[in-house]
Amino acid sequence: MAGEPARMGILTAVPGAAPTAEAPGPGEHRLGLDGRRDAVLLVPPGLAAGAAAPLIVMLHGAGGAAGQGLDILRGEAGRIGALLLAPDSRAGTWDVIVGDYGPDVAFIDRALAWVYERFAVDPDRLAVAGFSDGASYALCLGLTNGEAFSHILAFAPGFAAPTRAVGAPRIYICHGRDDRVLPIDRCSRRLVPRLEAHGYPVTYREFDGGHTVPPERAAEALALLEARGPSPGRG
């Protein structure tokens, strides 16, 4: 059962001063935390032992699985030398979208603890990202845990429902003008002004297209993570 922090959407795992377990080598690795719905870690080639690496937690859309998250960011994560962690949701989508926080928060916490035991992670380049339902959940978790995540990368989100607002993560949002799954007028065009009104630095991009993530938008999002600079704003 999920504990009280998980039921509030709060993650408790934190990067350690130094890894305490042997790290796997480059490539894809299933964490072995669940036999049915697990998590996959993509380790980039050339990662120096002990060097603090960027980490991206990538959340899939409704009905998806870890592989969808990996496929969206695989190339760009490798380009910047980032660890890419892609968990499966416990059910068909993320917990708060169909009910309350709890099981998915607890599982993501376990997956993060697994990574932190084996890799040094740069806290200034620690992002939660997602597509569709996963983008909504990335905003939920990222805002609730804004003291932990430096960046939130949301590709076609529907909403944000944090249980608290802490920290000041930089936010990247993009959305297709012709999205018929999560229409832009009801979603990002309402969401972005609310985030900006609360003082969050938001980079917002609209593009010609539907419910998808164009490669150039994924590249721009990860470039923002890599640069650690100020938000470029709207465009």
d(CA 217, CA 36): 32
Residue 63: exposure state from Cβ atoms within 10 A (0-12, 13-18, ≥19): exposed
- pTM beyond cutoff 0.85: yes
Does the pLDDT value for residue 232 go beyond 80? Answer: no
Cross-strand pairs, 38 = none
Q: Which of 173, 52, 157, 163 is nearest to 105 (CA)?
A: 163
Does the pLDDT value for residue 235 go beyond 60? Answer: no
- Determine the average pLDDT of the residues in 71-79: 93
CB 178 within 8 A of CB 210: yes
pLDDT 10s digits, 147-165: 999 999 999 999 999 999 9
Instruction: Report the Cα 87 to chain-centroid distance in Å.
Output: 10
Task: Please report which residue ranges of the chain form alpha helices under DSSP H.
Answer: 4-7, 66-79, 95-98, 103-118, 133-144, 188-197, 215-227
What pLDDT is attached to residue 230?
47
pLDDT 10s digits, 113-129: 999 999 999 999 999 99
Q: What percent of the chain has pLDDT over 90?
A: 87
Q: What percent of the chain has pLDDT over 70?
A: 96
What pLDDT is attached to residue 50?
75
pLDDT band of 19, cuts 50, 70, 90: confident
Does the pLDDT value for residue 222 go beyond 80? Answer: yes
Tokens (6 digits) for 191: 């969401």
Instruction: Report the Cα 218 to chain-centroid distance in Å.
Output: 12
CATH class, range 4-11+26-227? alpha beta
Does the pLDDT value for residue 228 go beyond 70? Answer: no
